[in-house]
Structure 1
Amino acid sequence: MNVLRQLQSFFWDKRKFLYLSIFALAIATALGLVTPILLSRLIDDAIVPKQFDKVPMLAISVILVVIAKALMQFVSGTLGGRLGNHLAYRLRNACYEKLQYLSFRYYDTAKTGDLMSRLTGDLEAIRNFIGFGLAQMMNTGLMVLFGSIMMFSINWQLTLCTMVSVPFLIVVALRFEGKIHPAFREMRLALSSLTTAVQENVTGVRTVKSFAREPHEVEKFSIRNERYKTNQIFTSTLWSHFFPLMEFLASISVVLLLTVGGTFVINGTLSLGELVAFFSLIWYIIGPMWNIGFLINNYTQSEASGERVLELLNHPIDVKDREDAKELKSEDVQGHITFDHVTFAYGNAVPAVKDINFDAPSGSVIGFLGGTGSGKSTIIQLLMHAYNVNEGNIKLDGIDIRDITVYSLRNQIASVFQETFLFSSSIQNNISYGLKNVSMDEIIRAAELAKAHEFIMEMPDGYNTIVGERGMGLSGGQKQRIAIARALLKNPKILILDDATSAVDMETEHEIQSGFQEVMKGRTTFIIAHRISSLRHADEILVLDEGKVVQRGKHEYLISVPGPYQDVYQIQYADHISRIPGEAEKQVRS
């Protein structure tokens, strides 16, 4: 029950629904006890003495009791449903909100399919138990209590005799719960793995088909499906072992009742009507005992699901606001960025960046060049406070970014990443994402600067064209230009271009770069690029290798000295240099 106590805050304000649901169910249970008594009176007072004039009244009484019982069960189910839906609504919102604020470090290893499973299947299991199972579990105790009292009031010797197997039934049920809980947890994990496989395959279907890896994906899915099937079979095996035993123990009570009770009737110590009533009441004991396995099953599933949901909700947020964090106002931000001896490592790995130092005055352009894994993107992520630095500090206008609220910091930054993500919405909504009260003229202006307006207008619905999931239906260059327009429309003080023009041709890149010259004015801009052409106008270029700055300076200086920058320049401009007489010798001499 520890899991339920931790989830209590999500439904405790609506506990009246729980109480009323249990109360209505208790009344229904109590009304159910009236029927055996009426049945006993029908036999002993009407049928046996042949006073049939009493039959209609007793029959009407039974009908009224049944109707009242059904009404109470309806009220209980309705209130339980409202409680369960309220819990699921709040829990789903809490999980989604937590996902928004979890740090980048969490998403470095998180699996989308697993998260989807937690927000759907696991939440549904919790909703079912809190909404219905919890009241049913409490009502089980009431049924046993009420039924036992009624049976003892009729004949205490017969009651004790029929309850001989109950302690054994309880022991078996508890052993079942101890084995079924780990099984359900493993089954949930297997289902998450299965969901992840489907999600990854659907998302990467183009890659799968382009590499003709359909058989491999089928095999991978089959392995995970086999794991899920194995867990399902193991769980079913547990059921098949325990439930027949539980049913056998419960049936012993019925056998004892009929044997001993029949003897009492023959001896005249028990009336026939009382025996029939006893037979009806025994199901108030046996029924819950039979049902206890299903209740344990329901509870165990919800507990396993609750553990997974709480694991998400209780996951620490690595990057969060300090208590005295400052809220930035756009009009006060200049955009002066300083990296002071910054070192950072992902987990316990080798540092991704080591002792990084640079100063980017407001309005300056800083370029980064380096191979894969050199630390370019890490520097940008640290600037956005996606991670906390291990050593050193990063300052914005002289203030450590750890002393600035994360929201207000990132609100001053607009980014265009190499891997462009577009939402399943209209192009207009994708460009204006996160902004309110943006005019259509402003959207068009941003699209024109990003050289996206022309191809957008060629589409059937123009800016109202709906793009597919993750921007499907658009080319890589088109998606990238829409992302650039989205960044420009934000009008940030700090602009980050992480290989922003890698998916466009050289001619389009030149046009976009021309547009950037205008939008970069008054903004501090950081450019990550593999093309020298994207960096040549930067105020300072940092060349990175294995997380360290190995060269720095302006384009004109860097191409004049031997080093990685000159090597890249000569590779990219080899044809151009060879066509200019004396240029190659000039480069070599310099």
Structure 2
Amino acid sequence: MNEKKERSIKNREIYRRILRLIQPYRHLLILSLIFAVVSVVLTLYAPVLTGRGIDLVIGKGNVDFDGLRPILVRFALVVAATALAQWLMNLCNNKITYHVVKDIRTQAFEHLEELPLRYIDSLQYGEIISRVVADVDQFSDGLLMGFSQLFTGIITIFGTLGFMLGINVAITVFVVVMTPMSLFVASFIARRTFSMFRAQSEARAAMTGLVDEMVGNQKIVKAFSYEKEAEQRFQDINEKLRTSSLKAIFFSSLTNPSTRFVNNLVSTGVAIIGAVMAIRGRLTVGQLSCFVSYANQYTKPFNEISGVATEFQNAVVCAGRVFDLIDETPQAPDAPDALALTPERVDGSVELENVAFSYKKNAPLIQNLSLNVKPGQRIAIVGPTGCGKTTMINLLMRFYDVDAGEIRVSGYPIKSLTRDSLRRNYGMVLQETWLKAGTVAENIAYGKLDASREEIIQAAKEAHAHGFISRMPDGYDTQISESGGNLSQGQKQLLCIARVMLCLPPMLILDEATSSIDTRTEIRIQKAFARMMQGRTSFIVAHRLSTIKEADVILVMKDGHIIEQGNHETLLAEGGFYAELYNSQFARSV
């Protein structure tokens, strides 16, 4: 019972939010209502003309053609005006719907960029895409149906009621008493299909997530012959989607035939009662024809409204999922007095004081981590997989905020700095490459959009990427895909290195920056890195310990703690964990 009450409260809130989204377009809403009234009035006037025309057809060989002619002209004008009013009404409805859809999708996307990485990492990317794309489309369909049929339906009900009362009160009372049964049937079904549409929407999101995952990692799928397992996962989700969709569509499709059955009973009753009255002379044949037409028009909106109610249940579910995304707590904004860290203020010192962090509260990772990095030092971070190396980088960049303790850059607590200025003072090259759809030159200039072509080429030369770029069909203007699918992994990494070479920020983060590059090119790039790191504080994450011998300080991490620190020679002489790691890499078989 409590769950039902909570769902009802949530649905009311969704309706209120939808109305708030519509409010900026209320002028179009008013126009739509005006055209709906005009359309309905003209539609209801047509049976009056039809009834008059029938009464002028008195019998065989006795037709009042002079009286019929103006009625036919007027009927043609009414039909033309009705069509125009309906077209203008639909035009307004479409503009309202697509403006609202644009607004809600914009809100969702903008909020997505404000969400913390913790939230993004907790969901499949495909599910997020499903909410922003598929769910908004479903909401759009329901909203458009609501505007198109709800307004005209309600106005038609009251309009026909007035016209029928003007013809015969007794038959009108019969129609009014019988028709609400169709609404009762529709609402009964609609209430029970809500959970079915929600299950359908969730299964659709899971399907999108799986397809996105499999397509994005197709090489891994094929490399490990995972096709059958992927197909089985797809079949399981597809079956769940089929079952939930079938239930939702089957039960919702009961609405229309059920209401039509009730309305046909009403029409049959009207025809029988009206025929009896016509025989007794209380109605003319034209009035009976007019009344039957009105009875059908009166009951028709109940069918349409019931269909709208069912479709709107699906729209509300989808809107609720999008609103859930929009309502997610965004990352803590920069403090109002946050300082913009300009390069002139950066001396390169970095301090971590009693830092604690965990991705999950019940699984501690980093605890009481303290570190003091002097300006211009090269800090290498080594350790086994999962010890916290990349996590430490995420904390330095403030992709995640620490749970306890404090990180200071150049003496400033990073929480007192704007995120944008903090990140602009770091240059990152990771094992995972970041490329966007565009030209090679645009990808290199991603962090410095005003860079000249000469600067871009010089950066590419320093990164030893100029050679392969020159051999591409259009050189620096060659289009590459978002994932860089037409480039090798090493070429993609060289472009990311060139990006940092172009920006030359005061501090550097190199996380397995040359992991995909051949040995000969790596030696050249290491020399370029050495020149670039002169006078710059640098954090180097490496598994190949041969690449960090020249580091000023090597931090050895294990289980989120720094267990050893010193330079290469000192750590080897101590014979501790670092020495074990180093010797294991260079041990020779006896």
Alpha-carbon distance change, 530 to 206 in structure 1, aligned in 2, over 3 angstroms: same
Matched, 1:4 2:15: yes
Q: Give runs of aligned pairs for residues 22-421 of structure 1, distance below 5 A.
A: 22-45=33-56, 47=58, 50-421=63-434
**How far did 1:472 drift?**
1.2
The amino acid that maps onto 1:30 is V
**How far did 1:8 drift?**
4.0
The amino acid that maps onto 1:426 is T
Cα RMSD of the aligned pairs, angstroms, is 1.9
Conserved? CA contact 2:56–2:68, under 8 Å: no
**How far did 1:3 drift?**
1.3
The amino acid that maps onto 2:52 is R
**How far did 1:330 drift?**
3.3
Cα deviation, 1:356-377, whole Å, max 9, x if unaligned, reads 1111223221110011110001
Conserved? CA contact 1:352–1:378, under 8 Å: no
Conserved? CA contact 2:193–2:313, under 8 Å: yes
Gaps of 5+ in 1: 579-590
Equivalent residue, structure 1, for 2:562: 549
1:362 counterpart SS class: coil
Equivalent residue, structure 2, for 1:466: 479
Distance, in Å, in 2 between the alignment partners of 1:512 and 1:224 is: 47
Conserved? CA contact 1:197–1:221, under 8 Å: yes
Which stretch has the larger CA shift, 391-400 or 3-12?
3-12
Q: 1:444 aligns with which of 440, 446, 457?
A: 457
Which stretch has the larger CA shift, 228-237 or 307-316?
228-237
Equivalent residue, structure 1, for 2:24: 13
**How far did 1:45 drift?**
4.2
Conserved? CA contact 2:256–2:307, under 8 Å: no
Q: 2:580 aligns with which of 562, 567, 572?
A: 567
Distance, in Å, in 2 between the alignment partners of 1:131 and 1:434 is: 42
1:502 counterpart SS class: coil
Alpha-carbon distance change, 200 to 370 in structure 1, aligned in 2, over 3 angstroms: same
Cα deviation, 1:91-132, whole Å, max 9, x if unaligned, reads 222222222221110111121221222222211222334445
Distance, in Å, in 1 between the alignment partners of 2:568 and 2:154 is: 81
Equivalent residue, structure 2, for 1:585: none
Which stretch has the larger CA shift, 382-391 or 3-12?
3-12
Conserved? CA contact 1:342–1:357, under 8 Å: yes
Conserved? CA contact 1:21–1:135, under 8 Å: no
Distance, in Å, in 2 between the alignment partners of 1:118 and 1:434 is: 30
Give the aligned length: 577
Distance, in Å, in 1 between the alignment partners of 2:575 and 2:453 is: 49
Alpha-carbon distance change, 200 to 249 in structure 1, aligned in 2, over 3 angstroms: same
Equivalent residue, structure 2, for 1:583: none
2:449 counterpart SS class: coil
TM score, norm. by length of structure 1: 0.94
Distance, in Å, in 1 between the alignment partners of 2:115 and 2:540 is: 27
Q: Give runs of aligned pairs for residues 502-581 of structure 1, distance below 5 A.
A: 502-575=515-588
Distance, in Å, in 2 between the alignment partners of 1:123 and 1:468 is: 26
Distance, in Å, in 2 between the alignment partners of 1:167 and 1:9 is: 30
Alpha-carbon distance change, 165 to 335 in structure 1, aligned in 2, over 3 angstroms: farther
**How far did 1:317 drift?**
1.5
**How far did 1:332 drift?**
2.6
Conserved? CA contact 1:494–1:523, under 8 Å: yes
Cα deviation, 1:357-411, whole Å, max 9, x if unaligned, reads 1112232211100111100011110111111211100111222111112222222
Conserved? CA contact 1:319–1:387, under 8 Å: no
Conserved? CA contact 2:387–2:560, under 8 Å: yes
2:480 counterpart SS class: coil
Conserved? CA contact 1:498–1:527, under 8 Å: yes
1:471 counterpart SS class: coil
Gaps of 5+ in 2: 1-11
**How far did 1:269 drift?**
0.9
Conserved? CA contact 1:450–1:485, under 8 Å: yes
Distance, in Å, in 2 between the alignment partners of 1:250 and 1:170 is: 10
The amino acid that maps onto 2:53 is L
Cα deviation, 1:252-293, whole Å, max 9, x if unaligned, reads 101100111111101111111111111111122211111123
**How far did 1:9 drift?**
4.2
**How far did 1:135 drift?**
4.9
